[in-house]
Amino acid sequence: MQAAGCDLDLELTGHAVVGLLEVLPKLREFFRFADQAESIFASGGVDAVVLVDFPGFNWHIAKRARRHQIPVYYYCPPQLWAWGGWRTRKMRRLVDHVLTVLPVETEYFSENGIPATWVGHPFFDAVADHSLDPNVIAELQSGGFAPHRTVAVLPGSRDHEVQQNFPLMLEAIRRLESDPAVAARGPLRYAVAAYRDRHCLFCRRQLTESDANLPIDFFAGKTSEIIQAADCAMMVSGSVSLELMARGTPAAVIYRVGRLLHTVAKQLVKVDTITLPNLMSPRKVFPEFVSVGPTEPAVAFLHETMRAMLTDSYYRTRLQTELQSLTHQYGMPGASRRAATQIQRLLGGETSSSIGPTVEEAITSRRIFDHSPVRQPDTPGGQTKPRRAA
């Protein structure tokens, strides 16, 4: 939006927080931001308010926009369909139109009387735009090793995720290395894709003297290259599953939670999967396991699922085919461009919520799966000066 000409009065992303303990100390600051936004609304000249994610704060922005009769559009909406359904009434009252990133969201909001249009997930734009480092790819594919298959290990992007899940993954790696059925199909190499340097350091420190011969390497900030080069993966549930889907890399998914959180989640969460691509598919294309209590069931799940992917070529090919099909159907880039187009239509008085992918976008989605990401243009061809949006 800034690149298209919007005035940036506050860089809100620099104030992002997660969880109640992070929010409380900044409540006064956030209310000040909301008041600042309302003063802009009151000054006039604002044709629309576009909310993006961050519902705890954005509800206050929507209320203030409503006071000034400004239409409100929500892009990347809160996951009311998964949990927090009691907020649906608030969405209906405060938001004129929802621009959804998952097909299941469109169905949910429409059924609850909230106008919605599926525009696709912006994560696929990031995948298409990312330029892979050929040197890292070459290192992963050869690196002085004998011919081998690469297993990507994705331990999560948050500190607690890495600390709770990587030890389970490491134990599964040990079992795979001592599994005769896996060894019979040729050597493996495990590439750990750490999100931050401190995560990389933590993972390294989990190795013991008995792990000296494990064919495992650690990388920070090279997740895309590792996914690209991998034959399959083990991962912690997160949005990176969309990149695995787009690049056609099958994966086993785990997520370890405490008993209290699991008990609460069972009462609140309405979906039967923790993996985004599984929400797009009639069957679970990514096998998954929520780990509560003893770790042995999760380690056994990872070992058995990865063994199947590494020894059963039919099973792995079937998963790759299903991922390709999902990518062709739902993984096309251009989500933000389609969102902008829909907002322009709504401001122009159009009521149709149909805004399907173009032929160009469909071709691009195939290229993503074929591992040839193509950078998309930043804006549509028109040069009309945009209306001001908040």
In terms of domains, do 364 and 282 share one? Answer: no
Half-sphere exposure (CA, 13 Å, Cβ side) for 90? 16
In terms of domains, do 87 and 216 share one? Answer: no
At 201, the pLDDT band (50, 70, 90 cuts) reads: very high
pLDDT at 30: 86
Beta carbons of 14 and 40 less than 8 angstroms apart: no
pLDDT digits (tens, 9 = 90+) for 118-173: 999 999 999 999 999 998 888 887 755 545 899 999 999 999 999 999 999 999 99
- Plot region of 343 (φ>0 → left; ψ -120 to 50 → alpha; else → beta): alpha
pLDDT digits (tens, 9 = 90+) for 67-101: 999 999 999 998 887 776 778 999 999 999 999 99
In terms of domains, do 281 and 294 share one? Answer: yes
In terms of domains, do 170 and 262 share one? Answer: yes
Residue 184: which residues within 8 A CB-CB, separation 6 or more? Answer: 311
Across 96-163, the runs of DSSP E, i.e. the strands, are 97-100, 116-118, 149-154
Whether 6 is in a domain gets the answer no
Whether 247 is in a domain gets the answer yes
CA distance linking residue 2 with residue 84, whole number of Å:
31
In terms of domains, do 142 and 274 share one? Answer: yes
Express as a percent the part of the chain with pLDDT over 90: 66
At 377, the pLDDT band (50, 70, 90 cuts) reads: very low
pTM over 0.75: yes
At 207, the pLDDT band (50, 70, 90 cuts) reads: very high
Whether 291 is in a domain gets the answer yes
117: nearest Cα among 323, 302, 335: 335
In terms of domains, do 146 and 280 share one? Answer: yes
Please tell me which residue, 208 or 271, carries the higher pLDDT value. 208
pLDDT at 376: 35
Whether 374 is in a domain gets the answer no
For residue 365, give the amino acid letter.
Answer: S
At 272, the pLDDT band (50, 70, 90 cuts) reads: confident
Beta carbons of 284 and 273 less than 8 angstroms apart: yes
In terms of domains, do 290 and 185 share one? Answer: yes
In terms of domains, do 316 and 255 share one? Answer: yes
Three-state secondary-structure class, residue 291: strand
Least confident stretch, 36-40, 94-98, 263-267, 307-311: 263-267
Least confident stretch, 20-24, 91-95, 369-373: 369-373
CA distance linking residue 284 with residue 274, whole number of Å:
10
Domain span at residue 351 reads 12-120+333-369
Phi–psi pair at 73, nearest 5 degrees: -120, 135
Beta carbons of 155 and 194 less than 8 angstroms apart: yes
Reading the block at residue 42, the tokens are: 């009151």
Beta carbons of 214 and 207 less than 8 angstroms apart: yes
In terms of domains, do 151 and 248 share one? Answer: yes
pLDDT at 193: 97
CA distance linking residue 257 with residue 368, whole number of Å:
33
In terms of domains, do 182 and 326 share one? Answer: yes
CA distance linking residue 387 with residue 365, whole number of Å:
30
Q: How many helices (H) and strands (E) does the chain have?
A: 18, 10
